[in-house]
Structure formats: C-alpha cells, structure tokens
C-alpha cells in the first residue's frame, strides 16, 4: 500500500465506522423502570427491548423512550439475574428498524 493510499483508506474506515455507529444508535433506547434514573436498552427485535436486569426495579409502569423521544409503555416479560438481562415488550407499538 502506498503512502497516498493510506489517507483514503483511513477516510473510508472512518466513514464506515460513522455509518455503523449511526445505525446502532437508532436501536438504543432509554428504559424508565426505576425511580428517576433511566437506563439504556437495545431494540433487539420488533417491539422487544433488552436491558440490564439490575436496572429494572419495578414490574409495572415501565416506559421506554425511543430515539425520536416518543415514550411507549412496556411490560417486563422475562429476566435472568444470573446474566443480568431483562426483556421488555413494547405495548401497542411496533418499533420500526
């Protein structure tokens, strides 16, 4: 690889990384399942959010804030404290990918 190819290769890598981060960012949500302090979660499948189990302090009145700031009620449908994972189902909403 010549020295003139390195800047274009780095530029391409930088652009590819920026594209991946932008796409991944659209799947990150805020989970409001404890008093005052939201945690993050990831849109895993349509209407399904995966988050850390230790951050889900209540089983009712859970809301998820989507990347567009739309708040959606969610229901806890599963948790595993040994792996620190909790699964939430968005109620009456289909999160577009």
What pTM value is reported for the model?
Answer: 0.75
- Which CATH fold would you assign to the domain 28-90? Thrombin, subunit H (2.40.10)
* Euclidean distance between CA atoms 80 and 60, whole angstroms: 17
Tens-level pLDDT at each residue, the chain (97 residues): 565 667 788 889 999 999 999 988 888 999 998 877 888 899 888 899 999 999 998 778 899 999 999 999 999 999 999 999 999 999 976 544 4
Three-state secondary structure readout of 5-52: HHHHHHHHHHHHHHHHHHHHHCCEEEEECCCCCCEEEEEEECCEEEEE
Coil, strand or helix at 81? coil
Where is 71: in which H helix or E strand? strand 71-80
């Amino acid at each position: 690889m010549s020295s003139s190819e390195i800047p274009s290769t780095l530029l391409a890598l930088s652009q590819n990384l920026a594209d991946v981060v932008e796409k991944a960012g659209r799947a990150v949500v805020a989970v409001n399942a404890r008093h005052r302090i939201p945690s993050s979660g990831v849109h895993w499948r349509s209407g399904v959010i995966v988050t850390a189990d230790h951050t889900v302090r209540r089983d009712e009145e859970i809301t998820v804030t989507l990347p567009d700031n739309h708040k959606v009620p969610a229901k806890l449908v599963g948790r595993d404290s040994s792996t620190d994972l909790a699964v939430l189902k968005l109620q009456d909403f289909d999160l577009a990918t």
